[in-house]
A = this chain, B = another copy of it.
Amino acid sequence: MKILETAKKAKVASYSFKNTSVDIRNKVLKDLKTIIIDNTQNIIKHNKLDIDDSIKNGLSESLIDRLTLNEDRIKGMADGIEVIINLEDPINLILEHRILDNGLDLKKVSVPFGTIGIIYESRPNVTIDCAALCIKSSNTCVLKGGKEAFNTNKYLVSLVHQALKQNDLSEDVVVLCDNPSREEVAHLMKAKEYIDLLIPRGSANLINHTLENARVPVIETGAGICHIYVDNKFNEEKAINIIVNAKVSRPSVCNAVETLLVNREIAKDFLPKISKALKENNVVLNGNKEVKDIIDVNLLKDDEYDIEYLNLTLAIKIVKDVEEAIEHINHFGTKHSDAIITDNIENATKFFNTVDSSSIYHNTSTRFTDGGVFGLGAEIGISTQKMHARGPMGLKELTTYAYHIKGDGQIR
């Protein structure tokens, strides 16, 4: 099967690539940046083929927007590479070192995973992002992008190959799957001999399909039903700013707020104010009967608070106290980002200690969950699982570790 042959190439390349010095890896990235900038018009040309096909096939405008590369976005890809070049090498760090009583010298060393599979959708800049992060972390990678972006991705990977070849490295360090069938992708997801880690990037559909079908280790990313809870003692002006920001600044991303929980004691006073501020920003409000009795909202049933809107819609619910807010979040949330707005330190502490999410906020916006903001420099995705990596995943999260033990004939 062709897709497994492709994956095998990357796996074979991984054994020598893991020993490439950081200077060479950075040189590849530097060359790649130059090649991308020099080929801006060629990238746009190849991208146009995909755009034309997509228009012909009647794809939606938002999908075509995600697919499109213009000069700005290409410069953005190149700048992203520069950021990655400047990050510390995550490989061969001595995480622990001790001499055991019997004289054994034991080191715990950070090492690359080997080969990372990435399955993504229409945005072709993911191709360069992921290739650069994998190259920097000494991993080889198997890329499976959306078929609507295939011409663009193929051309972008040819530029990566050029950078690799210029530095006497195998092209197999970054391989692109050749428009595989659904069945072939299912085989890739089970190819434990070739794929050490699989990261799906994209819609909830893609992620659930991957989780359902994969047998290789998967990082679950992305889904974000994020909450803000407004407690009974709080700063009203800050609360309104935070809620509007968390919903309006970029509603299509996973760290945007989807549900507002309001303490019952302040609901009658606060809901009309926040409703006004949100409606001025064109936000559509949903809520159950108790909310509708106070402000004008579309009626939601009590079990309909499980929606990731990803647009200018916000669900609102009234809760008794911080405990009920936490219970709601742990039930309906996706372990992504949740915030409490309160002047009560005890309740903030309870919220931090009991909400089961990767990123928990007090008196600030959920929108801050981001690899760049958290100081990781770059991000390959936001994990919503608890195993291995949680929240924004940077270079370090693309490594694992090994124990290196040196002896002089010791036996047990």
Contacts and interface: CB of A to CB of B under 8 A. Distances in A.
Interface size class for chain A? 35 or more
Interface stretch (A149-157, A277-285, A288-296, A384-392): A384-392
Interface of A: 15-16, 18-19, 98, 100, 104, 106, 113-114, 196-197, 211-212, 215, 217, 219, 235, 237-238, 241-242, 245-246, 249, 326, 330, 348, 352-354, 356-365, 367-369, 373-375, 385-388, 390-391, 400-412
A403 B364 contact: no
Given A364-B411, A412-B368, A359 B217 contact: no
Given A403-B374, A411-B249, A412-B365, A386 B100 contact: no
11 contacts: A18-B354, A19-B353, A100-B373, A217-B386, A246-B411, A359-B402, A359-B403, A362-B404, A362-B406, A390-B401, A390-B402
Contacts of A403: 358-360, 369, 374, 390-391
A257 to B, nearest CB: 12
B18 A407 contact: no
Q: How many chain copies does the complex carry? A: 2
A279 to B, nearest CB: 19
A411 B277 CA distance: 15
Nearest to A357: B402
Nearest to A211: B215
A360 B402 contact: yes
Nearest to A405: B361
B354 A245 contact: no
Contact of A368 (B104, B238, B352): B104
A244 to B, nearest CB: 8
Given A212-B215, A386-B113, A402-B359, A374 B408 contact: no
Given A104-B368, A386-B197, A245 B363 contact: no
Contact of A359 (B18, B405, B409): B405
Contacts of A237: 409
Contacts of A104: 364, 368
A342 B197 CA distance: 33
Nearest to A363: B407
